[in-house]
Structure 1
Amino acid sequence: MVRYDINKLQMQNIELKNEINSLHEKTKGVAKEDSFNVVRASQAELQSTLNNLSKDIQNLSGRFDESKFYTENTLKNMTTEIDIIKLQITSLEGQIKDIKTKLDTMENQIQQQKEKAKEQKKEEIDLSKKEETSGEDASYGAKAKYDAAYATFESKKYREARDQFEYFTREFPNNDLTANAYFWIAETYYREKDYENAILAYETLLKKYPENKKIPNALYKQALCFIEIGENKVGRVLLEQVIDRYPQSTESKLAQKKLDDLNKKPSKKK
């Protein structure tokens, strides 16, 4: 629009110049002074109009330059905003990729857990069939199965022994030897140095059978497991519980000795 106004004024300016030139031609043959004055007046008026048009052109040119500057500046700002949006999109794409990777990892872990559970179930079924077809008769009861599991443990076949003891706890949940079976399950993890699972297994015994004779040993071993994984503070607390609750037990003396050993060296984890 501004460009159109400028062109229009320029055309008017050209027309005025043409009129002035025409007046000059007409005044060449005029001799009378009054006619000349009239022409001069007309020329002055036209010149004034021309000057005004020139000013209008300058104003419009200024507006055009201002509009051009604003447009260029706006385009520059838009370009900057577009670059920022591109960076944000790139960042979001990276985040989406990370999330997808984590989801894939989780799916793999879930699949592995399913396969592990399936394998354990199969082992339980195989173990059950093995015991059913082993020629045992009605007189071969809970004690015989417990003794068989313990013999496997003594042979250092800890995984197989654990399966047998777990089967025993399910088959004979109210038997007098069931608490012992839970203890030996925890012991299989401890012997394999799987201290975290051992802690959980000992805790099962502590909660289910708090008055069982193996509780002092279970509490002491649980303390050792915490120390093995760097949780010395928790381990110390459990050792002190062994000493306070079972002062006459063998585990109480072992707990005191372990505390003395810990006090001789700085704790790794407070």
Structure 2
Amino acid sequence: MTIRFPAGRAAVLLAALVSTGCATKGDLRDLQTEMRNLAERQDSLMVELRRQNRTTQDSIRRTSDQLFETRGDVSVRLGGIENSIERLTEVVGQMQQGLVDVRDQLGSGGGMRGSMGGSNPLGGGQPAGDAVADYNAAVRVYNMQQWTAARMGFEDFIQNYPSDELVPAAYYYLGEVWVQLDEPENAIEAYETVVQYHIGSDHAPLARLGLGLTYLEQGETALARNQFETLINTWGDHEAADRAREALAGMGGRPS
């Protein structure tokens, strides 16, 4: 049976055996073999330690890179959130100003037709000035591009004053609002109300143009062409007819 010793003890034992003359050749070979095996295992362990060290360093490097990227992503998102908050604050401020303007309009009763006076066509006890003030308030919000508030304003006006002479204009603007809100079907319905029931209104050619443009945006070129041609044939000298001619030219048609 061969007795194995740790490297240190093997070296000491070898020296002792040699000094006392007790070591045999077999013992020396065994000790030398054991020392070589120990050296090889030591080298193998060193190689493994170096490999693990490189792996650990690579892992630390990747983690550091990920943390850096995460910090950058978080910074970008925080910047986006701050910009959104600023825009939201601006919109809220505009809406508040719009409400103040609406309140002022309701209080003053001034506006586009404020000098006309007269009684309410519905005979409901409200003076015509209230209808004018409500309409002008809705237009003011519309001009501020507060589309949802403008929609509510024009819808309320139409509901409260269905026989007022400003109703066709309110329907036209309502169609424009629906376009901005990306609701083409509702826009078409509002425009068609003008051209079907208020054909003599000053806003009828504008509503016809709105119909044509809305159909064109929806890819309904035949319907769009029909609206443009009808507009040109009916109101050829109107500014809206010039717009219709331009649209037809862009479609490859021959404007009338």
Q: The TM-score by the shorter chain falls in which range? A: 0.5 to 0.7
Name the structure 2 match of 1:53. 34
Name the structure 2 match of 1:182. 167
Gapped regions of structure 2 (runs ≥ 5): 122-126, 144-149, 181-185
Query: CA shift at 1:265, angstroms?
Result: 7.2
Higher helix share: 1
Name the structure 1 match of 2:146. none
Note the alpha carbon deviations across 1:170-210, whole angstroms, 9 max, x for none. 685232xx2x30334578x8xxxxx9559779867535453
Assess, with a 3 A threshold, how the Cα gap between structure 1 residues 186 and 234 changes in structure 2: closer, same or farther.
Answer: farther
CA distance in structure 1 between the partners assigned to 2:57 and 2:93 by the alignment: 54
3-state SS in 2 of match to 1:174: coil
Assess, with a 3 A threshold, how the Cα gap between structure 1 residues 102 and 90 changes in structure 2: closer, same or farther.
Answer: same
CA RMSD of aligned residues (A): 5.0
Matches within 5 A, 1:63-82: 63-82=44-63
CA distance in structure 2 between the partners assigned to 1:207 and 1:116 by the alignment: 33
CA distance in structure 2 between the partners assigned to 1:87 and 1:49 by the alignment: 56
- The structure with the larger Rg is 1
CA distance in structure 2 between the partners assigned to 1:199 and 1:119 by the alignment: 26
Gapped regions of structure 1 (runs ≥ 5): 1-6, 24-38, 190-194
Assess, with a 3 A threshold, how the Cα gap between structure 1 residues 235 and 106 changes in structure 2: closer, same or farther.
Answer: farther
Q: Would the aligned equivalents of 2:7 and 2:38 in 1 still touch at CA under 8 Å?
A: yes
Assess, with a 3 A threshold, how the Cα gap between structure 1 residues 219 and 47 changes in structure 2: closer, same or farther.
Answer: same
Match of 1:243 among 199, 205, 229: 229
CA distance in structure 2 between the partners assigned to 1:167 and 1:69 by the alignment: 78
CA distance in structure 2 between the partners assigned to 1:16 and 1:202 by the alignment: 104
Identity in percent: 6
Match of 2:97 among 116, 119, 133: 116
Name the structure 1 match of 2:120. 142
3-state SS in 1 of match to 2:235: helix
Aligned length: 214
Residue 127 in structure 1 maps to residue 113 in structure 2: no
What amino acid is aligned across from residue 36 of structure 2 in structure 1?
A: K
Q: Would the aligned equivalents of 2:158 and 2:167 in 1 still touch at CA under 8 Å?
A: no
Matches within 5 A, 1:147-162: none
